[in-house]
Chain A
């Protein structure tokens, strides 16, 4: 408890509060603009936080993350354009509600649901994180190897409709991760004689390219010259029926638990959490037919689910140093930028910072209640009157400046451009991009851990499996890889049986 009261004292000072309020507003704004997504915003912001106090920098990350998850609901409801990938499920019932003239109500529900999901998730982080961190001291190189492999395996399997392409993307990421000096032998790999490649490709450079350039190019393709008219953004206020809010409680509870579970597992992100929550709400409903036709429960489930994913995805990141999704990876690099080593030591040596970050995740969720109300929403909706074609060069410039300031060399801009164009086409042919990034992060970790483990065991590979912890983790990995296979075989058998009955 002292852990959190100390942290709270440090968070409740001028700059962190200002950063949280500002960043939450900025997050809602970013989420509300289709074409800008939270990953991109945080990636752009990160190089700027080098010179800031870490608590202020993390406050901004927390605000943008939570704010943008809600912000995505605004265009999803008003225009049926998801502001972020995670708000796709919000369009299902949000837009029909707006169509019926209940846009104001839908936005209110989205706002409250987002806040509820975020709060539940932050509480999960605050309880599970420190507990997990206590265990992780027993994790040696062998265990870290298995955790990295587990992360890779579940990413490849969970992302995308085509698992082969998912795994292929992950292997590509692993290969990119080997570029540069091998820290265990001093061997330079895939550097083509270029000194700037000795340090490997910068994660943020590749990430900005992969995640920011494709949406920008798509924005250019849409070529929106006018922006929205005022009439399209008109909101009417429809009062709630008695008991309607109370009826949302079970949905919130369900969606929060789903979001938290998805957040802890590596690989899946807010969009999957929102879909799963939406489907669960539909299944539990007495009137499933009303979903998709403007049922407030649908909006509540989707928005609560995607926000509940946020803080929970920080649990493995903070306690183990293993990022569950791309934003968590960014938070980890924010921590290392400030000289902090994620893992059990972090809780021990920088309790104020870790506790503070958790507090900030909680506070920014609460801020959505205050800042995401109809008034703010109305203001943000106005930004959609800006013509899309003007956004295209603005985002390009922000991307370039963000990438340039990392290492101060123009060659990084070319890397970003190349990554972006590759990302554009890969996405079009159904190759998911998240595994590429996670491969880049987890690959070096897996390789170094396994080689360290072998050095410690004097080359005896069986020790990777014989320690109780490593054996358990290895089993879990095998299960994750085998699960889809088992499912396929089961389905096939069932189909055979059904065919036999006929």
Chain B
């Protein structure tokens, strides 16, 4: 393994020193990830980068720039050259959620959408003693006890909170959000009984659903999630339009050459559907989902507008 990377590195160094004028890409690509090393975004981007390296025949250097809920990395990336050698692997929150609550230097126009890669829903779970057994019962219990229940989430104004509040607002529910540093921390406090409801990613809570300690009653996607048979999708509850997902995408800087976008999005589509990568996504509770080019731009804009409305309702917006 080490030998292989050393070899790849060495060959790129040799390739670098030869002034060959081949077609794109002819030198290593730098991939910025707006999160610290080790998180969900980071691992899925790194796995994908290995496949892309093979397909593109060049090495990809990963740069982690965490902080500010992804806005630090996004702001730093915005300033890179649009020559196709700087790419940005992000999840949706820094682009559609963070600008609602923070003053950021970028907007959706600061990037060129290339392709989305995968998506997953958030889930809301309760302890096994909770007096409800399905999604509708869960919402009814919460609605009839305003202010009684606390739910852990990934941070004030984070996508998870907005996803939940979107549903709660539609059902006139008043639950108290408790922000934590991430799904792992939320889970620990949920299991210890410090918050009543777990809100976060599916893969984190899954082991405790399997051993019966927790039951997940709601997912934030329109469709049901096979891994959580007890949970209702939003379509079954008649709220398909309130769907909020966690999804990942690769973007370029503003005004990236359409030919490069085309080449990259095609390569990404093949890489994402690689059986090994699909298998990897499955362990994280994610499924491949490729939306390319301008369609991705439209998806971002739609999500941005919907979340702007929710955060205005919460009094969070800037």
Residues of A within 8 A of B316 (CB): 186
Residues of A within 8 A of B180 (CB): 452
Q: Which of A195-203, A223-231, A264-272, A471-479 contacts B (4 or more CB under 8 A)?
A: A195-203
Tell whether, in the assembled complex, residue B179 and residue A50 are in contact, meaning their CB atoms are under 8 Å apart: no
Tell whether, in the assembled complex, residue A456 and residue B178 are in contact, meaning their CB atoms are under 8 Å apart: yes
Determine the distance from Cα of A50 to Cα of B66 in the docked complex, in whole angstroms: 14
In-complex Cβ contact of A198 among B62, B72, B189 (8 A): B72
Q: Is A374 an interface residue (CB 8 A)?
A: no
Could you tell me the distance in whole angstroms from the C-beta of A341 to the nearest C-beta in chain B? 3
Residue picked from A180, A184, A186, A458, most chain B C-beta under 10 Å: A186
Q: Is B76 an interface residue (CB 8 A)?
A: yes
Determine the distance from Cα of A181 to Cα of B40 in the docked complex, in whole angstroms: 21
Known contacts A186-B102, A349-B207, A409-B76, A452 near B188 by CB under 8 Å = no
Q: Is B51 an interface residue (CB 8 A)?
A: no
Determine the distance from Cα of A345 to Cα of B68 in the docked complex, in whole angstroms: 25
Tell whether, in the assembled complex, residue B68 and residue A181 are in contact, meaning their CB atoms are under 8 Å apart: yes
Complex interface residues of chain A between 188 and 226 (CB less than 8 A to chain B): 188, 195-196, 198-200
Q: Is A401 an interface residue (CB 8 A)?
A: no
Determine the distance from Cα of A344 to Cα of B71 in the docked complex, in whole angstroms: 31
Tell whether, in the assembled complex, residue A141 and residue B76 are in contact, meaning their CB atoms are under 8 Å apart: no
Q: Is A138 an interface residue (CB 8 A)?
A: yes
Q: Is A284 an interface residue (CB 8 A)?
A: no
Tell whether, in the assembled complex, residue B102 and residue A188 are in contact, meaning their CB atoms are under 8 Å apart: yes
Q: Is A337 an interface residue (CB 8 A)?
A: yes
Q: Is B43 an interface residue (CB 8 A)?
A: yes
Q: A336-362: contact bitstring with B at CB < 8 Å (1 yes, 0 no)?
A: 111111011100010000000000000
Residues of B within 8 A of A198 (CB): 67-68, 71-72, 75, 102
Determine the distance from Cα of A407 to Cα of B37 in the docked complex, in whole angstroms: 10
Q: Is A10 an interface residue (CB 8 A)?
A: no
Q: Is B157 an interface residue (CB 8 A)?
A: yes
Q: Which of B12-20, B119-127, B191-199 contacts A (4 or more CB under 8 A)?
A: B191-199
Known contacts A180-B67, A452-B179, A137 near B156 by CB under 8 Å = no
Determine the distance from Cα of A198 to Cα of B46 in the docked complex, in whole angstroms: 24
Q: What is the number of residues of chain B that contact chain A, defined by CB distance less than 8 Å?
A: 48
Known contacts A341-B184, A345-B188, A141 near B36 by CB under 8 Å = no
Q: Is B155 an interface residue (CB 8 A)?
A: yes
Tell whether, in the assembled complex, residue B37 and residue A452 are in contact, meaning their CB atoms are under 8 Å apart: no
Tell whether, in the assembled complex, residue B63 and residue A408 are in contact, meaning their CB atoms are under 8 Å apart: yes
Tell whether, in the assembled complex, residue A50 and residue B37 are in contact, meaning their CB atoms are under 8 Å apart: yes
Determine the distance from Cα of A217 to Cα of B299 in the docked complex, in whole angstroms: 54
Q: Is B52 an interface residue (CB 8 A)?
A: no
Q: Is A13 an interface residue (CB 8 A)?
A: no
Determine the distance from Cα of A183 to Cα of B181 in the docked complex, in whole angstroms: 8
Determine the distance from Cα of A409 to Cα of B67 in the docked complex, in whole angstroms: 14
In-complex Cβ contact of B189 among A141, A337, A349 (8 A): A141
Tell whether, in the assembled complex, residue B67 and residue A199 are in contact, meaning their CB atoms are under 8 Å apart: yes
Could you tell me the distance in whole angstroms from the C-beta of A146 to the nearest C-beta in chain B? 14
Determine the distance from Cα of A185 to Cα of B156 in the docked complex, in whole angstroms: 6
Q: Is A461 an interface residue (CB 8 A)?
A: no
For the residues of B in contact with A, the DSSP-based class is: mixed
Q: What is the number of residues of chain A that contact chain B, defined by CB distance less than 8 Å?
A: 38
Tell whether, in the assembled complex, residue B176 and residue A455 are in contact, meaning their CB atoms are under 8 Å apart: yes
Complex interface residues of chain A between 276 and 304 (CB less than 8 A to chain B): none
Complex interface residues of chain A between 117 and 142 (CB less than 8 A to chain B): 137-141
Residues of A within 8 A of B40 (CB): 339
Residues of A within 8 A of B227 (CB): none
Determine the distance from Cα of A200 to Cα of B72 in the docked complex, in whole angstroms: 10
Residues of B within 8 A of A458 (CB): 147, 176
Tell whether, in the assembled complex, residue B188 and residue A181 are in contact, meaning their CB atoms are under 8 Å apart: no
Determine the distance from Cα of A333 to Cα of B182 in the docked complex, in whole angstroms: 15
Determine the distance from Cα of A183 to Cα of B193 in the docked complex, in whole angstroms: 22
In-complex Cβ contact of A140 among B63, B156, B192 (8 A): B192
Tell whether, in the assembled complex, residue B178 and residue A338 are in contact, meaning their CB atoms are under 8 Å apart: no
Q: B45-75: contact bitstring with A at CB < 8 Å (1 yes, 0 no)?
A: 0100000000000000011111111011001
Q: Is A178 an interface residue (CB 8 A)?
A: no
Complex interface residues of chain B between 174 and 232 (CB less than 8 A to chain A): 176-182, 184-185, 187-189, 191-195, 207
Determine the distance from Cα of A219 to Cα of B184 in the docked complex, in whole angstroms: 44
Chain A, Cβ-Cβ closest to B42: A339
Known contacts A184-B156, A195-B75, A409-B76, A137 near B188 by CB under 8 Å = yes
Tell whether, in the assembled complex, residue A199 and residue B102 are in contact, meaning their CB atoms are under 8 Å apart: no
Tell whether, in the assembled complex, residue A186 and residue B65 are in contact, meaning their CB atoms are under 8 Å apart: no
Determine the distance from Cα of A345 to Cα of B204 in the docked complex, in whole angstroms: 11
In-complex Cβ contact of B179 among A51, A183, A349, A407 (8 A): A183
Tell whether, in the assembled complex, residue A456 and residue B182 are in contact, meaning their CB atoms are under 8 Å apart: no
Could you tell me the distance in whole angstroms from the C-beta of B166 to the nearest C-beta in chain A? 18
Complex interface residues of chain B between 23 and 38 (CB less than 8 A to chain A): 36-38
Residue picked from B157, B188, B316, most chain A C-beta under 10 Å: B188
Q: Is B105 an interface residue (CB 8 A)?
A: yes
Tell whether, in the assembled complex, residue B64 and residue A199 are in contact, meaning their CB atoms are under 8 Å apart: no
Determine the distance from Cα of A341 to Cα of B102 in the docked complex, in whole angstroms: 27
Q: List 18 A-B contacts (CB under 8 A).
A: A137-B191, A140-B192, A140-B194, A180-B68, A181-B71, A183-B156, A183-B179, A184-B179, A186-B157, A195-B68, A195-B75, A198-B68, A341-B184, A341-B185, A408-B65, A448-B181, A452-B178, A458-B147
Which B residues contact A (CB, under 8 angstroms)? 36-40, 42-43, 46, 62-69, 71-72, 75-76, 101-103, 105, 147, 150, 155-157, 176-182, 184-185, 187-189, 191-195, 207, 316
Given contact pairs A186-B156, A200-B67, A452-B178, enumerate 18 new A-B contacts (beta carbons under 8 Å).
A183-B156, A188-B102, A188-B103, A195-B76, A196-B75, A198-B67, A198-B72, A337-B38, A339-B38, A339-B42, A341-B184, A341-B188, A343-B188, A406-B64, A455-B178, A456-B194, A458-B147, A458-B176
8 closest Cβ pairs, A-B complex: A199-B67, A341-B184, A140-B194, A198-B68, A339-B38, A195-B75, A199-B72, A186-B101
